[in-house]
């Protein structure tokens, strides 16, 4: 018993010593948003998304390689009688070394997979599903960035379906030239209690584009041009084979003194993408965003966007305002 007690004390002493060599970290993220979508002319779903999210995190940076964070992400939609409409857990481990990052748990998607084209992952996910629940691996160096992830979106029960998203993205940039790729697949299976005439569904898409970053060659703050292909993959198992509609996607992005223009033009076959933007069901679609960033200060940024959707011979409109504030800090637990 004495030997066990001594061993226990030694283990606790070592753990406490290690804790004092770590850093206590904190992070507070606020996201306020107003997104008014007037889509009636094209007979798509009109809605107004108006609310805020707050996400505090605390954790330990154990050394330069290992980090653990816990917290939550709470949504309140304005006009709702509830204090919060949804609380999502935030709890993850992060490994960082020589350009590699590995995440395991429930962690924010912002800055990791938030750059996917809307055709593949709709921007509504930023409002209603701000976290990835699963795993992600990222490698990044001076010219290359690659991300692979799996996001478990629904756990199977007797009545709930099982589905998850697997995806990857990457960009290679050299001087003015860049090439990017994005791909994802949604696996949508049934509940544990079978539903008659129900089938497993696979639904995904991929986009590959090449472009030029001319930001340093003009008077503009930023200017990029790109062209590429969009293909989707749709299959209902035991009913039919793969459907693979394809099309061409052209993009322009420019900004000067906080004012910007973003234009996306699509031409090709219509797509049925469960997680993608519904405008891409059309064979021809053009989206023009006029943007203004009135606030850009340290950890605070606000953005206003007026969007026009040219589709099916009509023009739909959208007005969106978003504000993000991120406050972080750390304190060493090392003994003085």
The domain ranges of the chain are: 2-332
Query: What is the pTM (predicted TM-score) of this model?
Result: 0.89
Percentage of the chain beyond pLDDT 70 is: 93
Among 178-182, 198-202, 208-212, which stretch is predicted with the lowest mean pLDDT?
198-202
| Segment among 14-18, 25-29, 138-142 with least mean pLDDT | 14-18
Mean pLDDT score, 216-236? 96
| β-strand partners of 102 | 95, 137
Dump pLDDT digits (tens) for 257-316: 999 999 999 999 999 999 999 999 999 999 999 999 999 998 999 999 999 999 999 999
Residue 335: pLDDT above 70? no
**Beta carbons of 85 and 53 less than 8 angstroms apart:** no
User: What six digits make up the tokens of 64?
Assistant: 């330069």
User: Can you say how many angstroms the Cα of residue 304 is from the centroid of all Cα atoms in its chain?
Assistant: 19
Closest to 201 (Cα-Cα) out of 243, 167, 229, 171: 243
Do 81 and 314 touch, CB atoms closer than 8 A?
no
- CA 250 from centre of chain: 22
pLDDT for the residue 336: 56
User: What pLDDT was estimated at residue 6?
Assistant: 43
Of 124, 112, 109, 116, nearest in space to 207 by CA: 116
pLDDT band at 194 (very low <50, low <70, confident <90, very high): confident
DSSP 237: T
The first and second tokens of residue 54, run together, are 């707050």
The residue among 49 and 198 whose pLDDT is bigger is 49
Q: pLDDT (tens digit, 9 = 90+) per residue, 156-178?
A: 888 888 999 999 999 999 999 99
Mean pLDDT of 88-112: 96
pLDDT digits (tens, 9 = 90+) for 35-62: 999 999 999 999 999 999 999 999 999 8
Q: In CATH, what number does 2-332 get? A: 2.40.160.40
The pLDDT, as a whole number, for residue 198 is 86
Tokens matching residue 158: 């007797």
Short-list 287, 229, 282, CA closest to 261: 287
Q: Give dist(CA 18, CA 207) in Å, integer.
A: 46
Closest Cα to residue 166, out of 122, 110, 204, 131?
Answer: 204
In this structure, are strands 177-189 and 162-174 parallel, antiparallel, or unpaired? antiparallel
pLDDT at 22: 84
| DSSP-assigned letter for residue 4 | H
Task: Say how many Å lie between the first and final Cα of the chain, rounded.
Answer: 35
Tokens representing 269 are: 């076959």
């Amino acid at each position: 018993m004495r030997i066990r007690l001594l061993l226990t004390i030694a283990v606790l002493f070592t753990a406490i010593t290690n804790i004092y060599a770590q850093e206590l970290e904190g992070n507070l993220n606020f996201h306020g948003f107003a997104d008014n979508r007037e889509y009636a002319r094209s007979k798509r779903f009109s809605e107004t998304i108006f609310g805020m999210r707050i996400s505090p995190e605390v954790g330990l940076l154990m050394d330069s390689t290992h980090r653990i964070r816990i917290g939550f992400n709470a949504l309140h939609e304005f006009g709702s009688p509830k204090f919060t409409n949804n609380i999502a857990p935030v709890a993850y481990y992060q490994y960082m070394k020589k350009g590699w990052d590995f995440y395991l748990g429930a962690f924010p998607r912002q800055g990791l997979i938030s750059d996917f084209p809307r055709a593949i992952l709709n921007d509504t996910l930023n409002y209603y599903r701000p976290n990835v629940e699963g795993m992600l691996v990222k490698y990044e160096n001076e010219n290359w960035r690659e991300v692979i992830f799996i996001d478990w979106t629904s756990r199977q029960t007797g009545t709930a379906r099982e589905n998850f998203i697997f995806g990857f993205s990457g960009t290679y940039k050299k001087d003015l030239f860049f090439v990017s790729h994005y791909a994802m697949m949604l696996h949508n299976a049934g509940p544990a209690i079978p539903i008659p005439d129900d089938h497993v569904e696979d639904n995904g898409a991929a986009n590959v584009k090449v472009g030029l970053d001319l930001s340093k060659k003009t008077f503009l703050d930023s200017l990029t041009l790109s062209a590429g292909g969009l293909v989707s993959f749709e299959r209902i198992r035991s009913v039919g084979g793969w459907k693979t509609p394809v099309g061409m996607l052209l993009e322009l992005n420019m900004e000067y003194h906080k004012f910007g223009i973003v234009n996306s033009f699509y031409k090709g076959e219509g797509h049925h993408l469960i997680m993608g933007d519904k405008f891409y069901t059309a064979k021809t679609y053009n989206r023009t965003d006029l943007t203004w960033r009135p606030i850009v200060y340290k950890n605070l940024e606000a953005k206003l966007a007026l969007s026009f959707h040219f589709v099916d011979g009509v023009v739909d409109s959208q007005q969106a305002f978003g504000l993000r504030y991120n406050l972080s800090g750390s304190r060493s637990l090392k003994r003085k």
